[in-house]
Amino acid sequence: MATYAIGDIQGCYSSFRRLLDLIEFDAAIDRLWLVGDIVNRGPQSLETLRFVKQSDDAMIMVLGNHDLHLLMVDAGIVRCGKGDTIQPILDAPDRDELLHWLRHQRLFFNEGDHALVHAGLLPEWSVPKAARLAREVEAALRSDDYSYVFSQIYGNEPNYWCDDLTDTERLRVIINAMTRMRVCSIDGRIDFTFKGNLQDIPDGFLPWFDMPDRASRDHTIICGHWSALDLYVSDTVAALDSGCVWNRQLSAMRLEDRKVFQIRCDKRIVTDSG
């Protein structure tokens, strides 16, 4: 039995299946942690979503920004963008079942010394605190009033955490940090515009995982989202988005020994980042 974490799939279903073959994944005994963004930009979002859903007992996923975007489009909050590849899901006969399942997935997961999140954790959030905050969002997304929640959570402000935040501002910061964050200022403010590599980080900002006195350092955080970072593994973080949808690689890491497995991905089909 082994547990594998896999980076952003983004609808690259054939690459995903080839990586599962490479690691000899056995759904009867192994477990899979997916860092989110299982759909969009790649050519087979529908196939990917169906496969992950039907493998639910063996796979744990957290929601990424592209997964939430799909749910927002379905709720009528936003429209499909130029580079989106989610229309086959919206047109599928089983769309309601698929999207209901997706809306009930986690935003954050932790087990033992590892925690799973799409983008990152703000510096003042310990893993237990992050788990509590994620449950607030999960409850809102699973409520009967989820369309209203979706209508309120888009936006970049506030861009910092305060325990006194309430209502939709509170949910917005939690979602933005866990699904969109890459870098923070020294005082813990998120810069949502930066998408570059480590060498290009502007003065006064740090990768979220290098923030001084980060409260989650007692766990290894498994994440994705930052494709320009590529595969990045340290003592306290494993960032696994190695740019599969950009014709680079799809990465898996076996948690028990941190061995990394990679496959070259299919022909690039997207034209802009997201």
| Full pLDDT tens readout for the chain, 274 residues | 999 999 999 999 999 999 999 999 999 999 999 999 999 999 999 999 999 999 989 999 999 999 999 999 999 999 998 899 999 999 999 999 999 999 999 999 999 999 999 999 999 999 999 999 999 999 999 999 999 989 988 899 999 999 999 999 999 999 999 999 999 999 999 999 999 999 999 999 999 999 999 999 999 999 999 999 999 999 999 999 999 999 999 999 999 999 999 999 976 544 343 4
Is there a domain that residue 124 lies in? yes
Give the neighbor-by-neighbor strand order of the sheet with 59-61. Answer: 59-61, 31-34, 3-6, 249-254, 259-264
Is there a domain that residue 164 lies in? yes
Residue corresponding to tokens 């990152």: 120
CA distance 96 to 83: 23
DSSP class per residue in 137-168:
HHHHHTSTTHHHHHHHH-S--S-S--TT--HH
Is there a domain that residue 99 lies in? yes
Is there a domain that residue 218 lies in? yes
Is there a domain that residue 270 lies in? no
Is there a domain that residue 65 lies in? yes
Contacts of 53 (CB under 8 A, 6+ apart): 98, 101, 102
The total number of residues shown for the chain amounts to: 274
Determine contact, residues 256/150, Cβ cutoff 8 Å: no
Q: What single DSSP character describes residue 199?
A: G
Straight-line distance from the first to the last Cα atom of the chain, in angstroms, rounded to the nearest whole number = 35
Is there a domain that residue 272 lies in? no
Q: Report CA-CA distances (Å) from 224 to 100, 105, 235, 236.
A: 24, 17, 16, 14
**How many degrees, rounded to 5, is the angle at CA 97 between CA 109 and CA 176?**
40
CA distance 149 to 191: 23
Determine contact, residues 189/158, Cβ cutoff 8 Å: no
Is there a domain that residue 269 lies in? no
Determine contact, residues 41/10, Cβ cutoff 8 Å: yes
- Residue 147 sits in a domain whose CATH number is 3.60.21.10
Domain interval for residue 188: 3-264
pLDDT for 81: 87
Domain count, the chain: 1
